[in-house]
């Protein structure tokens, strides 16, 4: 008896074409949940750039971490946010729009390139969702992030 293979969502197929796959949802590091549904929106908690459960780098962008590497980590934060969204709504193809991205960059006092770093998340969401990935955004420099992560990203997504 054969069973049909599980259908792969179009969003996950685009991720695969980019060499990415959704990881397990990262366990919270404090008293919160990874994502919450309210109405037809999913609000993610801040996602760190965990890869296989570990941070790929730590420290401040512009001193300990290059802006280029931080941009890559911001994209990873977005992938982790997508995993949290999928855990709430079951299928990323239900996402009709990425509404807002908020990015935090642990910044050396002289670093002012936060928008370029958070472009990593924005560009990835655009590649994955096309026009529906265009979103409002904030990119904020901060003194330090949880676990000394260089970047953190939150996503608000609308779904049907």
Dump pLDDT digits (tens) for 17-73.
999 999 999 888 789 999 999 999 999 999 999 999 999 999 999 999 999 999 999
Mean pLDDT over the full length of the chain: 95
Question: Is pLDDT larger for residue 147 or for residue 6?
Answer: 147
For the chain, the farthest-separated pair of C-alpha atoms sits apart, in whole angstroms, at: 64
Q: What is the pLDDT of residue 59?
A: 98
Residue 152 predicted with pLDDT over 70: yes
Q: In DSSP terms, which residues pair with 139 in a beta bridge?
A: 103
Residue 1 predicted with pLDDT over 70: no
Distance CA 139, CA 119 (A): 9
**E strands, the chain, in order:** 35-38, 41-44, 95-106, 136-142, 151-159
Answer yes or no: are the C-beta atoms of 46 and 155 closer than 8 Å: no
Other Cβ atoms less than 10 A from the Cβ of 26: the count is 17
Answer yes or no: are the C-beta atoms of 132 and 10 closer than 8 Å: no
Whether the predicted model's global pTM rises above the 0.85 cut = yes
């Amino acid at each position: 008896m054969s069973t049909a293979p599980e259908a792969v969502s179009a969003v996950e197929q685009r991720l695969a074409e980019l060499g990415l796959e959704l990881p397990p949802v990262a366990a919270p590091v404090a008293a919160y949940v990874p994502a919450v549904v309210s109405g037809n929106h999913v609000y993610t908690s801040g996602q760190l750039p965990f890869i296989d459960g570990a941070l790929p780098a730590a420290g401040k962008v512009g001193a300990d971490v290059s802006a280029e590497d931080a941009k890559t980590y911001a994209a990873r934060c977005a992938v982790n946010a997508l995993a949290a969204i999928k855990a709430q709504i079951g299928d990323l193809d239900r996402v009709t729009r990425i509404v807002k991205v908020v990015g935090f960059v642990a910044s050396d006092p002289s670093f002012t390139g936060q928008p370029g770093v958070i472009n990593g998340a924005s560009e990835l969401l655009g590649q994955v969702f096309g026009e529906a990935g265009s979103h409002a955004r904030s990119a904020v420099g901060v003194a330090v992030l949880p676990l000394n992560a260089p970047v953190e990203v939150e996503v608000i997504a609308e779904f049907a």
